[in-house]
Structure 1
Amino acid sequence: MKTLQWRTKNPEETKAVAKLAASLAKPGDILTLEGDLGAGKTTFTKGFAEGLGITRVVNSPTFTIIKEYHDGSLPLYHMDVYRMEDESEDLGLEEYFEGQGVCLIEWAHLIQDQLPAERLQIVITRAGDEARDITFTACGTRYETLCEEINKHDNTGN
């Protein structure tokens, strides 16, 4: 497993890292997002959506569980499984995982048993008032390559 860590100084830099990741995304990619409440998962997701060219407002799908965005270069399936408990088996998540879009899953550890083994795990932690540490852990060759591509850019996504 390859691990890559970035520190961002503010939400704009967090979005820039996410835009960079989105620019390298391919159909079928699965990214999991972990972090405490308010750590920046939704900020990351907004930046990722912008990187795909999605113009709709992106917010946390906490009560709808899955929000689909089809107006970008790739479909984005934004999932927040925080309140799901054992209901996830009925949602047909594997159809999303095997689809032509990108799955971005907040609180993914709650559905660990249903996640594909190959994915990019992203953990966001506070490193100050606005600073965040973003840790990418590649699970599988595709995601090791993705981490290598991300690492070719500087620490602000440029």
Structure 2
Amino acid sequence: MSLESVRAFFAAHAPDIEVIVTEESSATVALAAAAHGVAPEQIAKTICVRAGEMTALIVMAGTSRLDNRKFRDHFGAKPRMLGGEDVVAITSHPVGGVCPFGLPSGIPVYCDVSLRKFQEVVPAAGATNAAVRIAPQRMADLTGATWVDVGQEPNGHVAA
């Protein structure tokens, strides 16, 4: 059902974008990078977080991490990662296939600035073996996402 909701989203809003389904799993950043022949940081991972009463999706470069201080400064609360069952209930997408496309409700989507350094990123597409190739700004435009700076590079530096 989730993969179908993503396909329906692209059919309605961006028919030029193809949902790529691979035989191998792309459920982790490393697996997705290998399956799609890109660097791990080019994978656009989507995490589902709660901050106070707000639940949101944050899309960020595959090797970036949430910076708790920057997140708290922006959203006014510490982020709390949701468990797998909650993620599926909120997004309809399985863990490893969570993406900002084809969502069942108006959950807010935020794109971290760590994605802006790429011409194209590869987010999941509603299944653990599905993805799309898309320009970060187009992804933000299609999903109504807001750009935020809440990431931290793997070496501890703040994403620019």
Q: Under a length normalisation based on structure 2, what TM-score does the superposition of the two structures give? A: 0.28
By percentage of residues, which structure has more strand? 1
Higher relative contact order (CA 8 A, sep 6+): 1
Q: Under a length normalisation based on structure 1, what TM-score does the superposition of the two structures give? A: 0.28
